[in-house]
């Protein structure tokens, strides 16, 4: 399968991300473009998208900085870039298990400059 790259536009900057080979990544890819209004929870940005799915068998609340994931209880696209209120150390922790489907290429810490209410769009890179 070919490498699938997306562009995440957030306010005055854009970053690229690469999707993994999971079923969740396939569902996201087939739903592009996506957009929403940013919510902030510590160093996590999330927004609701029109996708519904269950928690996958590999889902976890422990993620890495730069991971992009889907949070089934909130039907939300999530971007992790540091500690969240659920973190017990320096690693990001989701509110509950998420389906990780990709990773930011570059500096995910740029998302620290995004405010709640910022419009976010996700498109195919190319």
**Dihedral in degrees, nearest 10, Cα atoms 51, 55, 57, 61:** 120
Pick from 31, 42, 50, 26: nearest CA to 90 = 42
Question: For the segment 70-92, what is each residue's pLDDT rounded down to a tens digit?
Answer: 999 999 999 999 999 999 999 99
**pLDDT, average across residues 30-58:** 97
List, in order, residues 6 or more apart from 43 with CB less than 8 Å away: 65, 80, 81, 82, 83, 84, 92, 111, 112
Q: Model-level pTM?
A: 0.96
Question: For the segment 87-124, what is each residue's pLDDT rounded down to a tens digit?
Answer: 999 999 999 999 999 999 999 999 999 999 999 999 99
Structural domains of the chain ordered from first start: 4-124 (2.40.100.20)
């Amino acid at each position: 399968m070919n490498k699938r790259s997306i562009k995440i536009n957030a306010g005055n900057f854009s970053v690229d991300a690469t999707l993994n080979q999971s079923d969740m990544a396939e569902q996201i890819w087939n739903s592009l473009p996506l957009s929403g209004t940013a919510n902030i929870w510590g160093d996590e940005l999330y927004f609701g998208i029109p996708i519904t799915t269950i928690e996958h068998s590999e889902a976890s609340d422990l993620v890495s900085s730069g991971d992009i994931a889907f949070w089934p209880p909130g039907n939300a696209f999530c971007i992790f870039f540091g500690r969240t209120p659920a973190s017990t150390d320096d690693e990001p922790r989701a509110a509950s298990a998420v389906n990780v489907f990709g990773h930011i290429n570059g500096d995910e810490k740029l998302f620290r400059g995004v405010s709640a209410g910022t419009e976010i769009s996700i498109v195919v890179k190319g």
